[in-house]
Structure 1
Amino acid sequence: MTRKKDVFVIGHKNPDTDSICSAIAYANLKNKISDGNYVPKRAGEVSNETQYVLDFFGVESPAFINHVGTQVKDVTIKITPSLSKEMSLKNAWITMRDMQEATMPIVNEGKLEGIISVKDIATANMDIYETRILAMSKTKYSNILDTIDGTMVVGDPEEVVPQEGKILIGAANPDLLETYVEPGDILITGNRFESQLCAVEMNAGCIVVCMGAPVSKTIQKLAKENNCSIISTPHDTYMTARLISQSTPLGYFMRKENLITFSEDDFISDIRGTMAKIRHRDFPVLDREGNYIGMLSRRSLLEMDNKKIIMVDHNEKSQAVDGIDEAEILEIIDHHRLGTLETSMPVYFR
């Protein structure tokens, strides 16, 4: 069952005894006669006289509230699942496509490490021409296996691509191939014994054999002796070459510097300008301990639910709790002259 939103019953900023007692009594009355959740609050310090009265009757003092403006926690926060920085670009793209999310957080043990967007993934695919991208990003072979639907014939899936390795297509004859295969390289080839042998002899880091072609026991034995991994994939050379760079982990491309994040206690009036200036669709929200909660979208501001207030013992804006202009005033219960307060909606006034 969804918990009903709190309605705060509040007196003026310099509360005397009748202001505090009115908030307590009226909140209690409303809880008994209506279907709601009414909570007494105070907008200032309790005087010695008031504290004496409360102690005498065994009543707890209302909690202090200094601002009733709409906060991030008052609007809809999307519970967007997080991704791991070890996840491949391909899997991240599939996840974001299926969930219809344009921006997703990368979280480790509750702490936000970065964010990734569809734009970031598109940039990684279209603007990166570095053949050593897998080495630079410290990609594990397990990511490559997952991305190209491969099988590890020789090697450990949890090992990382050699730091000096670049991606090559073994289309040339062995005489030419040996002139540009360097230690640590990843060679994509087919059912060519000579090309595979050349790669092993030139100390390649990994051989990717396409079309599910069998790898001879001789090549496997030599590869183990030379610390050369072998992966078999059912895809052809073109598809393998196209996919393999998508095995790069998110940690390499995620945005982790100068992230725009908000606290659940931030006031909308304070962050509205930032959200308008920074044209992101979603912004990460953190709790007081800095743990990731969810994402705040620009659209959420159109659907935000202002704090609901009942004012007692006054009806003047100058005496009201800060942020009263942003709150929705439901009722005013007072025994003074009419003040200067204006409301945007009809209000019950006694």
Structure 2
Amino acid sequence: MIYIFGHKNPDTDSIVASLVLAHLKKKLGIKTQACRLGPINEESQYILNRFKINAPRYLKNVKTQVADIPYTKASVGTLTTSIMEAIHLMEKEELRSLAVVSKHNHVMGIVDLQELALTFIRTYEKELNAPFNNICEGLSSSPLTRTTPPFYINGEIIVLAYHYDTLKKKDILKDYHIAIVGDRHDITALAIEKNVSLIIVTGNHNLPQELIDKADAKDITIISTPFDSYETSKKLPLCKTIATYLKRDADYFGDQDYLSWVVEDMKNKPNQSAFPVVDEKNRYLGMLSRKNLIGAQGKSVILVDHNEYIQSAEGLREAVILEIYDHHKLGDIKTTYPLQFKNLPLGSTSTLLLQEFLERHMMPDDAYCGLILGGIISDTLMLTSPTTTDTDRRYVALLEKHLDLDVNDFARDMFKAGTALGTISTKELFYKDLKWFESDEKKACISQIFTLDIDTLKEREEELENLMIKIKTENKNAYVILSITDILKKGSYIYYEPDSKYLATYCFGPNIHKGKFLEGIVSRKKQVMPKVMEFISSSNL
């Protein structure tokens, strides 16, 4: 999946750009998902509602998660899986560990190939407690009798290589024995007489019907295997279940766990070679080993309306940036590989993305044309911002005609919805359109609030000033500026916290004071941010 998103505290252009680019990619046959890094503001919601488009998905961060890593879709065992089958699966799929799951596919633990192998190198297993089906499968055997055997066969393995008289005289055979016998019918008859737990006839030898009938009468199961007595005696212990060797305390990871956690946990578990991966309901998905982490890449992303780390998603340095579409200054994002980076001096990223459609001789669906129109109008303040270009004006006229609407009425309704305060808190208002900028160790945050009712906003002046002081307290090396832009008067009221006085003077002149109205100052990108960056980038200021 490729995630498309704009900057933190998304404005309308950022929301629109993510949706429109995802729309374009879909038309080009590329699977992507439009996302956002913060809440939808009232202006954006108005546009989405008007054109009946769902909001982009909220994306908390783009840190690399287990789901982003190509872990192994390995087979699993259950509590009744035989050791033989487990070893076969691990050898076939080149695994060192096998996950064991319940009937609901929930992970119960793991078994290790090395531990299973060492168990049978060090000891000779005579005791057997194994499901009958495991025995039949492990020995490629089939029943000769009609009896219904117990689910589990319990007993002691014995190879009947003795002479008949020896067995009879020394009373070697007991009812708990699992007897392995060849084509010696007298020995088989003695085993039936002694009520052994199970008789295994090796070499696929046939038995007289008389012996089979006697076994059926005494409810003794006889099976036939193609293996000889030696092979049978070696394979039988491997028919036991893996339950005895299950490591229930083994670590496992959720597919949403972050890679940083995974690496740290693996360091603390040096003896565990592989780790089950589960979903949010603890259902098994696959196995993750250390070799899966070699060369693993993070999420694939496309950035719109920004190209700076401080404005982007947490974990961006772990992600693979495929493309960037923007109309701001060049930021600090770096990659070790080439990518498509389209950055043009236009009034909005929405303008740039409509251009992408038109260059391909395509037109967005009507609903997305409406979104683009809203994005351009929002970012250019209805074409009054100094960032507005002839391309923006031409595209607004094109979309107005295409959608058959009155652009002035549309803009008025959109700005009215976007500036309505309602029950929004002062903090939400301040952070709604806030951007951080940084250079070396210095940072600056610039919040911009658009309004059609400046008197109502002035009632919150003290709260806004206290909030700026609080932000400064929490960010010692930061400067804080607020621009309240009056859409009708086409200018902004400038506020700043006390320690940012020098910055405000540098940006707006020596006569600046808190709450001063500056006519014509409406663009943070073109009229405020360049001076701010110039100030914080200079060590002499």
TM category (shorter chain) comes to 0.7 to 0.9
- Classify the secondary structure of the residue corresponding to 1:166: strand
The aligned runs of 1:1-350 (5 Å cut-off) are 5-6=1-2, 8-28=3-23, 36-107=30-101, 108-132=103-127, 134-135=128-129, 138-140=130-132, 142-154=133-145, 156=147, 158-163=149-154, 165-172=155-162, 173-178=166-171, 180-253=172-245, 255-276=246-267, 277-346=269-338, 348=341, 350=343
Distance change (3 Å), C-alpha of 1:248 and 1:155:
farther
Distance 2:281 2:184 in 1: 57
- Classify the secondary structure of the residue corresponding to 1:105: strand
Distance 2:231 2:114 in 1: 23
* Bigger mean CA deviation after superposition, 321-330 or 181-190: 181-190
- Classify the secondary structure of the residue corresponding to 2:249: coil
The answer to whether the 8 A contact 1:76-1:303 is kept is: no
Distance change (3 Å), C-alpha of 1:156 and 1:335:
same
Distance 1:227 1:35 in 2: 66
Distance change (3 Å), C-alpha of 1:52 and 1:131:
same
1:286 is displaced (CA, Å) by 2.0
1:68 is displaced (CA, Å) by 0.7
Report sequence identity in percent.
29
Q: When you count helix as a share of all residues, which structure comes out higher?
A: 2
- Classify the secondary structure of the residue corresponding to 2:76: coil
Distance change (3 Å), C-alpha of 1:312 and 1:143:
closer
For each residue in 1:3-47, what CA deviation from the matched residue of structure 2 results, as whole angstroms up to 9, or x when unmatched? xx42x3322222223332333344445666x67444331101112
Give the CA RMSD over aligned residues.
Answer: 3.2
The answer to whether the 8 A contact 2:278-2:286 is kept is: yes
Distance 2:168 2:242 in 1: 38
Distance change (3 Å), C-alpha of 1:27 and 1:209:
closer
| Number of equivalences | 337
Gaps of 5+ in 1: none
The answer to whether the 8 A contact 1:155-1:228 is kept is: no
User: What letter matches 1:306 in structure 2?
Assistant: G
1:191 is displaced (CA, Å) by 4.2
The answer to whether the 8 A contact 1:284-1:295 is kept is: yes
Distance change (3 Å), C-alpha of 1:25 and 1:149:
closer
The answer to whether the 8 A contact 2:145-2:216 is kept is: yes
Distance change (3 Å), C-alpha of 1:211 and 1:44:
closer
The answer to whether the 8 A contact 1:205-1:227 is kept is: no
- Classify the secondary structure of the residue corresponding to 2:306: coil
Distance change (3 Å), C-alpha of 1:157 and 1:83:
farther
1:214 is displaced (CA, Å) by 4.5
* Bigger mean CA deviation after superposition, 54-63 or 38-47: 54-63
Distance 1:217 1:58 in 2: 79
User: What letter matches 2:73 in structure 1?
Assistant: I
Distance 1:31 1:56 in 2: 22
The answer to whether the 8 A contact 1:177-1:195 is kept is: no
User: What letter matches 1:61 in structure 2?
Assistant: A
The answer to whether the 8 A contact 1:174-1:194 is kept is: no
> TM-score when scaled to structure 1?
0.80
The answer to whether the 8 A contact 1:10-1:42 is kept is: yes
Distance change (3 Å), C-alpha of 1:246 and 1:210:
same
Distance 2:321 2:59 in 1: 16
For each residue in 1:216-265, what CA deviation from the matched residue of structure 2 results, as whole angstroms up to 9, or x when unmatched? 45544443343332233444332222222222234444x25023322222
- Classify the secondary structure of the residue corresponding to 1:154: coil
User: What letter matches 1:60 in structure 2?
Assistant: N
Distance 2:201 2:48 in 1: 81
Distance 2:44 2:104 in 1: 46
Distance 2:152 2:59 in 1: 56
Distance 1:131 1:287 in 2: 41
Distance change (3 Å), C-alpha of 1:29 and 1:230:
closer
Larger RCO (alpha carbons 8 Å, 6+ apart): 1
Distance 1:60 1:150 in 2: 61
The answer to whether the 8 A contact 1:68-1:323 is kept is: yes
Structure with max Cα Rg? 2
For each residue in 1:284-333, what CA deviation from the matched residue of structure 2 results, as whole angstroms up to 9, or x when unmatched? 22223332222334333224332233333334323321111111234444
Distance 1:15 1:205 in 2: 74
